[in-house]
Structure 1
Amino acid sequence: MVLVSSAIGMTIGLGLAVVAAPVALHVVGFTSAGIAAGSMAAKMMSVAAVANNGGVAAGSLVAIGQSLVMGKIKRATVGAAVGVGVALIGIPAGIAALGFTGTGIAAGSLAAKMMSAAAIANNGGVAAGSTVAVLQSIGAAGFSVGAKVGLMSTLGSLGAAAGARCSK
């Protein structure tokens, strides 16, 4: 239960970060066109420039804020969405395409060949917990809530990280 709660918290946190961070940065005055005149970001930039003999230091809060708005957050958002999409749609669709369906294993499919090989190797039966049994369970009933949360957290985070690292 603690693991599921942690995964739910991570998913909510990732969602809030992906949605709220761009909004918060824009409200402060960091925009894709540059720092908005008269904004809090403009005041921050002015203070940073005075403290740094006329320039804004690389790696400063002002530089990082503007860098994020200029693309990293957008790319991270797209990456997270792709990761969550793979978790919720791509993986189940892939399992169904193999032939593991809600009504059983589809005749003539790769799943049928896998089941035949598993049955031959196991004296005529498919062992509980085997790859074939697990995939058929997912094909028939879908992922559990805990598995969905875990997959969304993992693949959403990986997608966000990959998206942020992608160059334009």
Structure 2
Amino acid sequence: YFFFFFLQIVTREPICDHPTDCDFVHCLVNWILPYAQRYVYKSHAAKYSQLKKSNFDFLRQLKITVVDKLFYLNVINRCGLKSKKQTEIDCLHQDHILYCTPRSDPHSIFMELSCLLFSEAPDLGFANFLHIITTMAESGSTEEQIDAFILNSQKLPKLNVAEECIWSLPST
């Protein structure tokens, strides 16, 4: 509760330097979204229902920006007071924009996606699940092997595509 309250008071304001090609991050996020959807559908049913009622607006609003360097300032929301210290980071989301650098690792990207999906509260289980899926794919596992793993060890069945639109990013 304190962490969520703290997030309401202090936010991170991104400071970006030199936008660059975002194809890799866009492809990674787009590829992982159906797996993320299965996780949210099964593990966070109330949140999934809320997202569904909004017609999954967060997907249409999500923008991915890759920059050479990324920093943030802490901002106290009530009075707009900003810290003077800029802290360099590799990944951050703010106002439906996912900021990444070429050095952003998938797990950091997935943690920021979890914050976006779960109202600023990071979900380590969500990020770890997506990271496992990514690692399996990088190691040469087929889609069938990944699906078997998800079903058997994670107990996350495939979604009924007749009832659910599979998540994807809008075309860029």
- TM-score norm. by structure 2 comes to 0.19
Report 1 or 2 for greater relative contact order, CA contacts < 8 Å, sequence distance ≥ 6: 1
Q: Which has the larger radius of gyration?
A: 1
- TM-score norm. by structure 1 comes to 0.20
More strand by share: 2
